[in-house]
Structure 1
Amino acid sequence: MSEPDPDALFDVAVSKPAPAPAKGKQVAAAELPVAKVWVDAPLAHLDRTFDYLVPAKLDTEAAPGCRVRVRFNRQLTDGFIAERVAESDFDANRLLFLDKVVSPEPVLSPEVAGLCRAVADRYGGTMIDVLRLAVPPRHARVEAEEAGEPADAPAVPDLEGWARYPRGAAFLDALKAGRQAHAVWQALPGEDWPLRLAEVAVTAASSGRGAVIVVPDHRDVTRVNAACVALAGEDAVVALSADLGPAKRYRGWLNVRRGVARIVVGTRATAYAPVADPGVLVVWDDGDDQHSDPRSPYPHVRDVLIQRATRTGAAMVVAGFARTAEAQLLVDTGWAPEIVAARTEVRAAAPRVTAIGEHDSQMARDPAARTARVPSVAFDAARAALTAGHPVLVQVPRRGYVPALTCQDCRAPARCRRCAGPLGIPPAGAEARPPACRWCAATEANFRCQNCGSRRLRAAVIGAKRTAEELGRAFTGFPVRTSGAQEVLATVSAKPALVVATPGAEPVAEAGYGAALLLDGWALLGRADLRATEEALRRWMTAAALVRPADDGGRVVVLADSSIQPVQALVRWDPAWHASIELAARTELGFPPAVRMASADGSPAAVARLLADLPLPPTGEILGPVPLGDPDAPDPRERVLIRVARPHGRELAAVLAKAQAVRTARKDPDPLRVQLDPLDLI
């Protein structure tokens, strides 16, 4: 009997049809059957991708970057496909199949995914937490809409407005040529900064690249978006902010993702906008606390954009009227040269600034000025501007009526006898209003200081509503408008009026304000905050920049001691000088940004366990813990600060992430908030 032909046996084996799968059993895709998925599981010890099999029926839909539903910990959970590979490092027989492709739209691009991973690593957070910040919720109806045609590259705009800045032309030439260039831009007072930023974005877009501009709030988004649309056309620009609503915002975001628009303007989440081939990244007013995300891992827009510029080769601009110590560090290290105007240009554009201390001899001498609670110099400046037909801006540090009271004699905070809450004066009621508790609303008609026994009260800070009331009585015949938390005005007309605004809510006057009164400067400077002087100067300069130049009669009066450095910087309009002094002081004392610092807030037991699990980098130093609030409270809380030299910042982030992973793996019951580079250290 002859031996069978091995080749013939092989032909028969491969020609047999494959056995049909059992009924109901899924079959994996023929190519790249394994999907690595970022699962929506925020626990720190689960901060990695998980492998799933791709069913053959979902092969074409399960693209990298799309949203999926998977079975995780016996529950259906959302996720994103990071990539598809041929094999898994785990036993393929034990892998689960993807349950569903929510949408085949690849919403997570490789560039944005890499950025999210870098941000998570820098801040010691998890990838899925950053993905929540970067990718907006899905809107199915909007996603089903047909994509528009990509906008044509706009023409290079007229850049004459940058002629006042000696280095501005060189920076814009680099943008046109597609070269990577960074800058810290100091805008002149009265500058049309939305138009200047639009010119930067359109210059980058003219070379076929994208542009991202991040501003603090929706009012700024409206102004910058209008300037960009005027230069590049409506189809080339997308505005993104929370006030747009989910459908409109997702539609704009998809237009960016699909390459329809080249320029995107928005608030902090816009830093992750999936613009194709970013050419320039811009953050305006990086000192505004709205640029710091309140959700874990609490990233700051400036740092996110720096990470993105480094990874993509895009240019970056940190811009504003004032300058932070972090921006000054970029200048000092040479990472971002400064773009500033000559002093002659600054003097020509700036208003005249006068500083008056609280106990200065210039305090009001006539009845009307005493009623207005301003010194006579400020009263005269406001009256002159109103008489000349210009509006007057009055900046008040707090909203409300009289939001806080103290003892007249010892200046101790006035407390409620029932709950120890702070006393204030409510705006409603008769003229003679008794103080009331801001916590329990109980009135306190017979106050007695628990510290010295005095029965006299004084206002710690006068609120915007009370200030408007006083000014209305002092400047009869002129309307008084308020802009604050309840109603924020975007613009005011050029007609004479008093505009009382809280910091950050100052409306833009059509032809500029004739004068600005910056009241209660000590309330900003006296805050127990590392950034108190920097923040006070930023708020003052933001308001003063809205005032007409001194040659046109513009006046600014600030109620603060003229010997204080931030007041001197305002009078001379020299924020770079103040930023360099601030950075030098923080370097000497070992505070950010000269060092990297982390804070951990939680119960004493949670803080102690974290420190026990934390191997410090070589330059690591622990400060604290110190109590937060009342240490005798039923649930006391503590804060500990951890400081390292900047070269060891990534190492600190890594050990904090690992310590958090240990906590979540062993299911520690006590919550703990860990933050790197927090804005609030005190």
Structure 2
Amino acid sequence: MAAGEEAPARAAPPASKKAPRNRGEWRAAERLPVAQVAVDVPLAHLDRPFDYRVPEHLDAVAVPGVRLRVRFAGRLVDGFLLARVAGSDHGGKLAWVEKVVSPEPALTADVAAVCRAVADRYAGVMADVLRLAVPPRHAKVEAEPQRAAAGAVAAGAVAAEPAVTESAAAEVGRDGWARYPRGPALLDALAGGRAAHAVWQALPGETWQDRLAEAAAATVSAGRGVLLVVPDHRDVEALHTACAELLGKDAVVALAADLGPAERYRRWLAVRRGQVRVVVGTRSAVFAPVEKLGLVVVWDDGDDLHAEPRAPYPHVRDVLVLRAHTGGAALLVAGFARTAEGQLLVESGWAQAVEAERGVVRSVMPRVVALDETGGQLARDPDAMAARLPAVAFEAARTAITAGRPVLVQVPRAGYVPWLSCASCRETARCRACAGPLGVPGRATGSGNGREGTPALPHCRWCGRAEPAFRCAACGSRRLRAGVIGSGRTAEELGRAFPGVPVRASGGGAPVLTSVSARAEIVVATPGAEPRVGAGAGYGAALLMDGWALLGRPDLRVAEETLRRWLGAAALVVPHTEGGRVVVMADAALPVVQGLVRWDPAGHAAAELAARAEVGFPPAVRMAALDGVPDAVAEVLATLPDTVEVLGPVELDPVTDDPAAEKRERALLRVPRAQGRVLAAELHAAQATRSARKASEPVRVRLDPVEIG
């Protein structure tokens, strides 16, 4: 069906016969009388299909993929019909399929295979994955005529007709992708229906949504479907608009978890029925049942929004890799930054790097300045290392504002002053009584620290004791400074520093802006909430504040995550040939800062992967985290083979202030990457043993956890 055409009328599903009143009169279907059913029972020892007899009166509607009701352990439970077979290996008498909830096949064979693969990879249960993959049924939407559903799938105001026909779609985007030596070859592979695997490094200032729309158009020209997954709703809107302008609004649908049950099911059903070829969505769309899937794309795979917070905790990138592998689809991992996992795909030879030559990168990137990068900066500005906004940052902001361009200020967190530190050595200021961190509770109210409106004394955030005479235990200084000043206080300070210049906030409690005008103003944003500049323009400068705060977090991925946030903001700045400047408030000698200065995320990812391989951390190895009470964790650890290396367990911070609450521990498990499947199988078997004997204390199992700190 060409984009923009209405879907043909769908034949009505066969009606089921009326069931005999007496269950003893039920007869099994003559052909393929056994149904293999995935029951909705999230117990590890029951994680397998179960056989049921298909009664004759349900023979016509009991097709693979439909939702069923079956009796399991004496009660009616939901399930999906996976297949119809001629016989069963079960020696006893089979129970009947009680009811077909809907004749609409909701679960495709491809999605069912992916769900099984995801459950096996993450030592989970298929029933949990199916809940993530298939949205709840909405009977009223399901009963709508197909024509009405097809006309309701578009989201946002987009062009009514496609800009190009499908026959010409394969030639679209040649100019944009030509800046990447392997870009045209990638489009040729997609237009030819080949399963290309690529990791795309987007150039600074790249209109990435247009490039991905062009890749989708090339895939559609081969008669195949496309699934594009992005972190948040702003990216969904931008990418959906780009795809719809190129292919037509009826050829693309946006899927997101915040649509509401009816609208989300309406759009999902249009995808399942094959009315829409291109799907754009957030994490919840990763299992979308796209017909003839030819390309899967994940944008900015390092964003933690791609990590599912529900069991079995799959990551979008890994799910799409499995979909590409099991379904023979092409895969594109894209972003301004590159994760160690993306670098592993390249170094293993499974994927090819699509990146521009260094000369092209240097021509389009802004000039990036770090603290004391030349050695003469401190001579001109002795307080640059201690100042939150040194002279070089003020100069860059003033130059951009004078040129009539906006200035982006990225602040690591929202709010005001969460804690205090020594102004000389930046050690955390601590209470002399309990060693807790000091903070400023706000303004005095006239009842303790002086007149109303005067600054309050530093107080301990643990014991509440005032600290009128602070002295740093490390260097002896008596001066205090804010540890991290949030976006709210930063906006106020910049408003005083640049009088007459509008200051706008995005994120951090303020509404997240989608775009701003190309005029002289200051935009203060938290990471991930940076608005784009309208009319195809860019920021004149970007000030990346409090770099030490981002890099000071105790996390394995801290350098990778910091560079990703910096690159995402710096990519919105105009090239250095137009005066674009980025000032990062961090030491120029740090490897992550050098990765930004040279705009070399691939080199930084390669070094990061090598460093993790040296010390044995993901993705060079497979790891799992076990969380639970000490006895339960010890029970699981006792079942594992000696080949599994155990780190810990260590006690976790309590989740409640109740002193009687039971302590919880975490143990990390490590095996070579080649033994990852074995580790997942062992953990699944351990969970199955515990669920079979109805263990009261659960153990949370997460393979390849996002946070390791």
The DSSP-based 3-state class of the residue aligned with 1:281 is strand
The answer to whether residue 420 in structure 2 is matched with residue 405 in structure 1 is yes
Partner in structure 2 of residue 223 of structure 1: 238
CA distance in 2, matches of 1:413, 1:26: 77
Q: How big is the shift at 1:606?
A: 1.3
The answer to whether residue 506 in structure 2 is matched with residue 488 in structure 1 is no
Q: How big is the shift at 1:243?
A: 2.3
Q: How big is the shift at 1:108?
A: 0.4
**Residues 459-538 of structure 1 correspond to what in structure 2 (within 5 A)?**
459-486=482-509, 487-510=511-534, 511-538=537-564
CA distance in 1, matches of 2:549, 2:386: 20
The answer to whether residue 130 in structure 2 is matched with residue 128 in structure 1 is no
Amino acid at match of 1:567: V
The answer to whether residue 297 in structure 2 is matched with residue 282 in structure 1 is yes
Whether the 8 Å contact between 2:413 and 2:508 is mirrored in structure 1 is no
The answer to whether residue 704 in structure 2 is matched with residue 662 in structure 1 is no
Whether the 8 Å contact between 2:506 and 2:513 is mirrored in structure 1 is yes
Partner in structure 2 of residue 103 of structure 1: 102
Judged with a 3 Å threshold, the aligned counterparts in structure 2 of structure 1 residues 665 and 387 are, in CA distance, closer, same or farther, namely same
Partner in structure 2 of residue 563 of structure 1: 589
The answer to whether residue 196 in structure 2 is matched with residue 181 in structure 1 is yes
Uncovered stretches (5+) of structure 1, i.e. residues with no partner: 1-19
1:653 to 649, 665, 680: 680
Partner in structure 1 of residue 705 of structure 2: 678
Q: How big is the shift at 1:542?
A: 0.3
The DSSP-based 3-state class of the residue aligned with 1:164 is coil
Q: How big is the shift at 1:240?
A: 0.6
Judged with a 3 Å threshold, the aligned counterparts in structure 2 of structure 1 residues 116 and 23 are, in CA distance, closer, same or farther, namely closer
Q: How big is the shift at 1:356?
A: 1.3
Deviations 1:31-50 (A, max 9, x none): 22222211111111111112
CA distance in 2, matches of 1:304, 1:434: 52
TM-score by length of 2: 0.87
1:544 to 565, 570, 573: 570
Q: How big is the shift at 1:55?
A: 2.7
CA distance in 1, matches of 2:543, 2:596: 13
The answer to whether residue 336 in structure 2 is matched with residue 312 in structure 1 is no
Q: How big is the shift at 1:77?
A: 1.9
Whether the 8 Å contact between 1:371 and 1:473 is mirrored in structure 2 is no
Q: How big is the shift at 1:423?
A: 4.1
1:610 to 616, 628, 636: 636
Judged with a 3 Å threshold, the aligned counterparts in structure 2 of structure 1 residues 23 and 499 are, in CA distance, closer, same or farther, namely closer
CA distance in 2, matches of 1:61, 1:507: 50
TM-score by length of 1: 0.90
Q: How big is the shift at 1:370?
A: 12
Partner in structure 2 of residue 432 of structure 1: 455
Q: Which moved more, 1:668-677 or 1:66-75?
A: 66-75
Q: How big is the shift at 1:416?
A: 12
Partner in structure 2 of residue 48 of structure 1: 48
Deviations 1:108-152 (A, max 9, x none): 000000011011111111101111111111121111112247999
Partner in structure 2 of residue 626 of structure 1: 650
Q: Which moved more, 1:141-150 or 1:68-77?
A: 141-150
Amino acid at match of 2:67: R
The DSSP-based 3-state class of the residue aligned with 2:105 is coil
Q: Which moved more, 1:507-516 or 1:486-495?
A: 486-495
Whether the 8 Å contact between 2:388 and 2:546 is mirrored in structure 1 is no
The answer to whether residue 316 in structure 2 is matched with residue 301 in structure 1 is yes
CA distance in 1, matches of 2:88, 2:187: 48
CA distance in 2, matches of 1:585, 1:111: 37
Deviations 1:229-258 (A, max 9, x none): 010001110111122222222111111111
Deviations 1:275-323 (A, max 9, x none): 1111111111111111111111111111111111111111111111011
Deviations 1:197-222 (A, max 9, x none): 00001110111001111111111000
CA distance in 1, matches of 2:280, 2:500: 41
The answer to whether residue 626 in structure 2 is matched with residue 600 in structure 1 is yes
CA distance in 2, matches of 1:431, 1:467: 20
Please tell me the root mean square deviation across aligned C-alpha atoms, in Å.
3.1
Q: Which moved more, 1:144-153 or 1:29-38?
A: 144-153
Q: How big is the shift at 1:25?
A: 4.6
Amino acid at match of 2:707: D
Amino acid at match of 2:38: W
CA distance in 1, matches of 2:283, 2:440: 34
Partner in structure 1 of residue 66 of structure 2: 66
Judged with a 3 Å threshold, the aligned counterparts in structure 2 of structure 1 residues 416 and 255 are, in CA distance, closer, same or farther, namely farther
Uncovered stretches (5+) of structure 2, i.e. residues with no partner: 1-19, 152-161, 446-452
Partner in structure 2 of residue 5 of structure 1: none
Amino acid at match of 1:458: R
Q: How big is the shift at 1:629?
A: 2.5
Q: How big is the shift at 1:483?
A: 1.0
Judged with a 3 Å threshold, the aligned counterparts in structure 2 of structure 1 residues 100 and 108 are, in CA distance, closer, same or farther, namely same
Partner in structure 1 of residue 83 of structure 2: 83
**Residues 152-301 of structure 1 correspond to what in structure 2 (within 5 A)?**
153=166, 155-156=168-169, 157-301=172-316
Amino acid at match of 1:190: G
Whether the 8 Å contact between 2:429 and 2:472 is mirrored in structure 1 is no
CA distance in 1, matches of 2:254, 2:213: 13
